[in-house]
Amino acid sequence: MPKDYINPPGLSKSGYYTRVLRVTEPSTFIYIAGQVPADEHAKPVHIGDIRAQFIAVLDALTVQLKAVGATWDDVVFRRAYALDVAGFVEHCIRDETFPVPWDRQRPSPSTLIGVTALAHPDYLIELEIAVVIAD
């Protein structure tokens, strides 16, 4: 599906997100609720390890993408909530060795929000995504 990745002149450009993403074809929008680092019984996993929690979240989101016939290439927006923003950025976002499933050359727009608490005290992060697939 055609997508335009736009970083308008006069604004800073980031290697971690794109400022604007325009979808130009008829499509279906899919919103995936915030995913936390929990197992199939809603029990926290990898307590105290933000990097391992992020991998668990990405794995769970990959399952959900597959369930709707989508891939990470179809993600048009990411929103992350983190208890430790600096730790999340250092260990999960800016670490070039971290195996993020999205294209580092054309990342989707994203927002990172620092929070004081999530749904369980052992959750360090939560990630929600929006997806667009062709009709």
Could you tell me the residue ranges of all domains in the chain?
3-134
Q: What is the pTM of this model?
A: 0.87
- The superfamily CATH assigns to domain 3-134 is RutC-like (3.30.1330.40)
**CA-closest candidate to residue 59, choices 42, 82, 91, 35:** 35
Percent of the chain with pLDDT over 70: 100
Q: Mean pLDDT over residues 75-102, rounded?
A: 87
**pLDDT attached to residue 101:** 82
The residues with which 3 forms a beta bridge, in sequence order, are 23
Binning pLDDT at 50, 70 and 90, where does residue 100 land? confident
- CB neighbours of 14 closer than 8 A, spacing ≥ 6? none
Q: Mean pLDDT over residues 101-129, rounded?
A: 92
